[in-house]
């Protein structure tokens, strides 16, 4: 570990970074089994209530884009603390909302917690170098993946027992716990007072001209895009296509997280040994192959939740291989701009995810089945595979020229 002591504070324990990523992930998906019921409660269409996913993701993209450079300049710690405070106030607003418009306004403000994800990645890059950073990001996200694995299950049970507001109460309680935890443990990892904004701007062209940076961004964005499309469409598919209850949807929502946990474990175990590109390539192939098989099965008339969610679990494995390595790759281009690179990459990922999530919600309707969702996810996974093949090809060309 190479993080420097700042005053009396030291760089955070990895479990603190896991907690930061975990509470951000929980805020995204714990309430998903409640979406159909929330639409009925507010008396609106499912497509409108689905904006609590897609609009939230879009706001997260903007905030990550802004928070990355700010964290490079002012440090990781103040960005995280303010993010958590705003998130807690917005969560209170969602609990008090009595109409869909008010709820959606506060739900979008809840996206203030999104910078916690980029800061956890950037802090790892501050403390570790190269393939070792990819390995440690894999371990951090492996721990974090437990949260989205169990959150929809808990959310479905809470919804049936107490109603959808219980899920937002849970967000508030856990957000407060993490705020106290971070206050006590999150020492600053940015060295020498951060990178001045003028210097950041001077370094942006280097980042912008890098084929590696944009290739890694595309691989991460399109791989995670398949997952974001799933978030937007799976509650509808679960209830209207497979006839599942909200609790059962919550159980099946564990599928991608179980896969993601396994993929992140493999990233933590093998990235330092095998390198970034082979891990990303393997993960992209797994994602595309699993979703393509599920799409073909649906076209053949084989409709069963085990086929659908089984493919989603394998997609999770692929994402667990792609994302830690792609994130480490994009931050390795200019290590002193780790926060900016992480924020820009995260913004592209969630912006694309917002579009795909909204598209999934718009295309899914009675009688459509799971086909539109599977088609979107398969196309996104194919794009991720093409992106990493492009990076590998470009690097081979540069090597041959040298």
Domain ranges of the chain: 14-188+195-401
pLDDT in tens, 273-311: 888 899 999 999 999 999 999 999 989 988 888 899 899
Percentage, residues of the chain above pLDDT 70: 86
Q: What is the pLDDT of residue 385?
A: 96
Q: What is the pLDDT of residue 270?
A: 86
Confidence class of residue 337 from pLDDT cuts 50, 70 and 90?
A: low
pLDDT in tens, 122-169: 787 777 766 677 677 777 766 666 676 677 778 888 888 888 899 999
Confidence class of residue 402 from pLDDT cuts 50, 70 and 90?
A: low
Q: What is the pLDDT of residue 8?
A: 38
Is residue 201 over pLDDT 70?
A: no
pLDDT in tens, 202-230: 666 767 778 888 899 899 889 988 888 88
Tell me the mean pLDDT in the region 226-236: 81
H-only helix segments in 193-334: 197-208, 211-236, 246-252, 254-274, 276-299, 305-332
Q: What is the pLDDT of residue 69?
A: 77
Tell me the mean pLDDT in the region 73-83: 87
Q: What is the pLDDT of residue 87?
A: 96
Report which DSSP code applies to 40: H
Q: What is the pLDDT of residue 4?
A: 37
Q: What is the pLDDT of residue 336?
A: 64
Is residue 401 over pLDDT 50?
A: yes
Higher confidence at residue 59 or residue 191?
A: 59
pLDDT in tens, 3-55: 333 333 577 888 888 888 888 888 887 888 888 888 888 888 877 887 887 78
Sign of the Cα pseudo-torsion (75, 277, 346, 199, in order):
positive
Class (C level, CATH) for 14-188+195-401: mainly alpha
112 vs 85, 95, 106, CA distance in Å? 9, 17, 10
Rounded mean pLDDT of the chain? Answer: 82
Residue 331, classified by CB atoms within 10 Å of its CB into exposed (0-12), middle (13-18) or buried (19+), is buried
Q: What is the pLDDT of residue 2?
A: 40
Can you give the pTM of this predicted structure?
Answer: 0.69
Q: How far apart are CA 144 and CA 23, in angstroms?
A: 8
Q: How far apart are CA 306 and CA 47, in angstroms?
A: 25
Is residue 196 over pLDDT 70?
A: no
**Cα-flanking dihedrals φ and ψ of residue 321, to 5°?**
-85, -40
């Amino acid at each position: 570990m190479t993080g420097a002591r700042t005053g009396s504070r030291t760089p955070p324990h990895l479990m603190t970074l896991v907690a930061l990523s975990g509470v951000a992930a929980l805020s995204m998906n714990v309430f998903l089994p409640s979406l159909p019921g929330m639409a009925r409660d507010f008396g609106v269409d499912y497509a409108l209530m689905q904006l609590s996913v897609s609009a939230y993701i879009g706001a997260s993209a903007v905030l990550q884009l802004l928070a990355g450079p700010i964290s490079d300049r002012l440090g990781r710690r103040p960005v995280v603390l303010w993010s958590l405070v705003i998130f807690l106030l917005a969560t209170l607003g969602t609990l008090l909302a009595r109409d869909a418009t008010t709820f959606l306004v506060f739900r979008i403000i809840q996206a203030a917690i999104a910078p916690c994800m980029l800061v956890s990645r950037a802090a790892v890059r501050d403390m570790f170098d190269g393939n070792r950073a990819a390995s440690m990001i894999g371990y951090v996200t492996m721990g974090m993946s437990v949260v989205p694995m169990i959150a929809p299950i808990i959310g479905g049970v809470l919804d049936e027992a107490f109603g959808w507001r219980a899920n937002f109460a849970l967000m508030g309680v856990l957000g407060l716990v993490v705020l106290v935890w971070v206050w006590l443990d999150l020492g600053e990892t940015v060295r020498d007072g951060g990178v001045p904004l003028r210097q950041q701007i001077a370094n942006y062209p280097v980042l912008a001209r890098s084929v590696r940076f944009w290739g890694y961004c595309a691989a991460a964005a399109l791989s995670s895009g398949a997952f974001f499309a799933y978030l937007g469409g799976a509650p509808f598919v679960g209830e209207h296509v497979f006839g599942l209850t909200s609790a059962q949807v919550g159980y099946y929502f564990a599928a991608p997280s179980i896969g993601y946990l396994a993929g992140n474990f493999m990233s933590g175990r093998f990235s330092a040994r095998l390198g970034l590109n082979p891990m990303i390539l393997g993960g992209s192939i797994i994602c595309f192959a699993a979703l393509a098989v599920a799409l073909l099965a649906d076209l053949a008339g084989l409709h069963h939740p085990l086929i659908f969610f089984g493919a989603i679990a394998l997609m999770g494995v692929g994402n667990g291989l792609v994302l830690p390595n792609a994130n480490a790759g994009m931050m390795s281009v200019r290590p002193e701009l780790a926060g900016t690179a992480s924020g820009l990459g995260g913004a592209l990922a969630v912006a694309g995810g917002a579009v795909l999530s909204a598209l999934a919600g718009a295309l899914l309707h009675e009688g459509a089945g799971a086909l539109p969702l599977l088609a979107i996810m398969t196309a996104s996974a194919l794009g991720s595979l093409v992106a990493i093949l492009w990076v590998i090809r470009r690097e081979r060309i540069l090597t041959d020229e040298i």
